[in-house]
Structure 1
Amino acid sequence: MRLTGPVLLVASLTLGLGCSAAQAAESGSSSPTPSTTVTIPPDTTDSGGLSPEEVQRQVARAEILRQQILATSDDMAAAMTKVEEAAKKANAALQAYSEASTEGRDAREKAKTQADIADALQERLDQARSELREWAVSAYTQGGPLAEQLGYLDALSKEASEASNPLQDLNYLTDNRIRSVDDIRQVAVAQKLASMNAEAELGKAEAAEAKAKKAKLKAQGFVQQQQSALDELRTAHAEHVTEAGPLAGLLLGTGDADAIAASERLTDALAASNVSIKDLRLTPCTDASGVFPNGQIPPSNLCPMVGSSDEFLVPDAAAAFNAMSKAYAKDSGQLLCVTDGYRSYAEQVAVKAARGPWAATPGTSEHGLGRAVDLCGGVQDYSAPAHLWLVQNAALFGWFHPDWAAQGGRLPEPWHWEYAG
């Protein structure tokens, strides 16, 4: 049997208390006479000051507690199954949230582009209409612009063989005006189409953002479910330690064979139910914010990643990652290993040149948004403990593994993880 630190400490204290009790019994009289002797009951010298009956009561209580721990273990196993299921659902929901958010941003950009096109066409349409209006007024009040009238006079002043055909000239001028009218009609149609496209893209953006919000709430629900399951485990663990630890130490200090055996059984059951407790606090290094083109985030809007001296993320992603890495360190003894965080556009170009189809097109990488990491230290192996830890716990911190990078995905990358927000 291997005793934990707290149990050993309690056992030591219990043994000490047992000795003190025996000494107090031996010195029960402050000034005993030579003829006075203090008799120590033989049934308490080997039990740390406890009577045989009390030892048996404590042994019985230890057995009840052991059975309760074993029974609770089944409940904890079921709770852990729920945790794993919730983690998978949360991962999918966070990915849906991330994709919907990106879709919403793209749709709004397209809507703005279409709106700008519509505004430009409206200006062109207004100008064409103004020119046609001026021509119509001139034709109605003066028979047409002076240049056109001079053209008719020139034709009439010449010989028929030298003069141009007035009807042909008139047809030419008329055709020009008809083309102007057609241009106006085409511009009007294009402007209307651009306006409709802008409205459609805006509708897409609003729908995508509503979808993103729904997905985010769904993800939060799964995370809360997971956290609730962890809280149950934490409560059970605390209750076991509170009673079982001191009781195991007390029984060990009695020296009684049955009590020691009960202490060992109880300690083993307690060790089997041990659960680590994670720190979920997030603290960004800065409150700087802003929307920047992919790969063009200024250094003032980036925060360092714990355990790395030269890798950064946007503030909220960095804070979430750092909390996750510290939680991982509590369970494994080391921080998460990082190879890549934010990538500038130039870095994306270099990575694309080196990795070819295994890297995103520059300007489209999640790394360029400061919301993706590439990890090492075992995470790059789907079956390694580090990767499995992330699968179960990453969603608690807002991180997920995209399905395209999953085992069997179109581009398997166990090391690549993204932050949903």
Structure 2
Amino acid sequence: MKPYDKIVCLPDLLRGTRAFPEACFDLAREPILQGCGVDIGYSPEVRTRNSAWTDGGFDPDEFRRLAGMDGESAEARKALWAALYHAVPSRAVDYLFTFISADTLLLTCEIPPWLRDACRDRGIHYVDLRLSPLRFGRDFYVCVRSSDADIGRRVAEFAVATEEIRMEAAMLAANVRMHQRELQDYGRYHFDDLNGALLFVGQTPLDASLLGPEGRSLRCSDFADRLRLLCQGRRLLYKGHPLATEFAEEERAQLERITGQAAAPCPLNAYQILSTHDDVELVGISSGMLQEAPWFGKTAHVLFRPFVPVDVPGTPEAPGAPADCEGYQQVHFQTFLAPAFWCQSITPGRPLPRPVAALTPVPHHHGREIFNQYWDYAKVMIWQRNLWMEGFERSGGGLLRQRIEALEQGAARGQ
């Protein structure tokens, strides 16, 4: 068992977004310090704080220059990041690992393939963090995977139980169906019939999960033959990503050309679709919603592969996951914040340097609130909820409605 006395955090230095990885490192820093007695410092991008990176003289701009990203515009850097996602010039990789000693454990966040492969080739171990694609729980799960098999086995001891995940899916489905029935009982809304449909789940065009080995972002046209086969005997529906409306329209048109049938837009949110008793199948390139589907008894077809292959004991492999893929372990957000989790996973046998093994129970949705990541769960929380409607009314919504009605009446009278 290898002890780790040096842990440093390293994000994807070529990716333009920093908020999510830096937040993960910030949240893990104190629990690791208390649990393992190791200060992980800060990532190379945080140059105002002393760390293993700045003290050693590492310059992230020099790394980017060696990788071929120096002096490019923001749009050009996005395209270069995609092209370099799987392979970075050896001069840049060699420069980076000049500052990583053999006894270092890297704490990464959404580790890119080039860095994963470079760590393997040099015998450097890492612990990678991602958010789980199973987003229907009371709070999200943090996914953890380590190249050190011993750490992986110890993390698995904290993994969320299969039975609990099933309960979370069952509770959410019951919740959604109750509110749907209420609307239908009063004749206030009619929900689309999904029976016999194949629903394509869209993504944003620069999603990392869409990047193929050659550095090109995959599109539905890359899977035309399989899509035509899956569509046989089923009508086609399309659920576009809400943050990529223009791309969604292009993708929907492309699906229609491939399949030769209309791809009607589906207005329902993810959990209305997953919770229905209708016979609907899902298909997509790599959307996390496809990994959620089996927990609701739905068939899902993953055309490429999951971005976060989840290892859940006692369940089949994640749909579309490669047979040799190491799965991520899911732990509760509260577990991720616990010093005892880090101590037992990374430095077992050491006593906790501090007496706090874990925080007292954190509030419901605490992780979602910190990261401001609700996805379609936000619709579950506020859809048909009297508290939200009453809150709107009592905070000025009622007066606003009265004012609008008065203006409309005045306009109708020609005033």
TM-score higher than 0.5: no
Q: Which has the higher helix share?
A: 1
* TM-score under structure 2 length normalisation: 0.20
Q: Which has the higher strand share?
A: 2
Structure whose CA Rg is larger:
1
* TM-score under structure 1 length normalisation: 0.20
